[in-house]
Each structure stands twice: as structure tokens, then as C-alpha cells.
Amino acid sequence: MRSLTRWEPTSDLNTLATRMDRLFDELMGRGMRRSLEEGSSLRGSWVPAIDVREKNDAIEIAADLPGLKPEDVEVTVDNGVLSIRGERRLEETKEGENWHRVERAYGVFERTFSLPSSVDATKIEARFKNGEMRLVLPKREESKPRSVKVKVETE
């Protein structure tokens, strides 16, 4: 004998929406908010915004890293892969203080990029200013565009 189950579309949709919110929160590094609300540890992850621009002589990467200092960030190149990693820590709560809202993302982050063969990895430079890190990845001389003048002969 089959049992009948009452279908409650509103309740089911709300449950689905809650689960989707949790999934996107975790993917976008906003799991910290839930951790605070549930009283669990203050660990999470986040993904800093990155812009990549190519110029004739270099590729530039700009990373938004508000609240971080240069010593909080590590940039490495290994086997043709550039990695930017670090951690943004939430201030410790002191006696008599309570967090009421935490919307900024905290925790460990890592971004990786495959470097094209045109980049000279030995000459990469990094600058850190006002919460933004700029990387300049110079191109190898042989890969830079060149202009060649072509003579045209007329008959």
C-alpha cells in the first residue's frame, strides 16, 4: 500500500532556497556570517576580486585585498602557475564586546593563474598600496609584438 504525502510547495521552495543560499554563501566566501550566528569557529574562505589586463610588454594583475598588509600575502610561481594566497583575520572579540553583524569575508584565500609562455617569470614585480596588490608580469623580448616595415615595389 502506498502512503500519501502532502506536498507543500511553499515549504519545499523555502527549503530549496535556504540550501541554495548556503551553497552560494560557501562558494562566494560568506560562510563566516553563518559561523558567527551559529557560534562556531571564525574560519572561512573568500575570493578576492582580480582584474587581469594585457599590454604590449606585460600582463598586469590587480587584486583587491582590503585590510591586508604585504606580509599577509604570498605570491609564488611554480611550474608555470602563479599563486596568490593569504589570510584576512577577524579581530578577536574582547571582554564586553559582541559582534552584531559580520558581512565582510574573512579567512584563507588562494587564486591561481596559468602563465602563458610569453611571461618572464623571473622578472615579476609586486606593489602593494591602499589594499590593492598590483603584479606586473613582463613579457619575454621575443614574444613582444614588433613592427616591420614592408617595402612595396611597383612595376
Which domains does the chain carry?
44-91+103-141 (2.60.40.790)
Q: What pLDDT does residue 35 have?
A: 44
Q: How far apart (Å, rounded) are the C-alpha atoms in residues 104 and 32?
A: 8
Question: Measuring CA to CA, which residue among 55, 67, 51 is closest to residue 128?
Answer: 67
Q: What is the pLDDT of residues 60-113, one digit of tens each?
A: 999 999 989 999 999 999 999 999 999 998 877 788 888 888 888 888 899 999
Q: What pLDDT does residue 145 have?
A: 67
* Pairing status of strand 58-64 against strand 132-138: antiparallel
Tell me which residue has cell 557560534: 39
User: Are 120 and 80 contacting, i.e. CB atoms less than 8 angstroms apart?
Assistant: no
Q: Is the dihedral of CA 35, 66, 109, 72 positive or negative?
A: negative
Q: What pLDDT does residue 5 have?
A: 53
Mean pLDDT, rounded, for 111-125:
92
Higher pLDDT pick, 92 / 143: 92
Q: What pLDDT does residue 13 have?
A: 75
User: Are 135 and 75 contacting, i.e. CB atoms less than 8 angstroms apart?
Assistant: yes
Q: What is the pLDDT of residues 16-57, one digit of tens each?
A: 777 777 676 656 554 444 444 444 344 456 889 999 999 999
User: Are 102 and 37 contacting, i.e. CB atoms less than 8 angstroms apart?
Assistant: no
- Torsion, Cα of 136, 138, 139, 144 (10° steps): 100
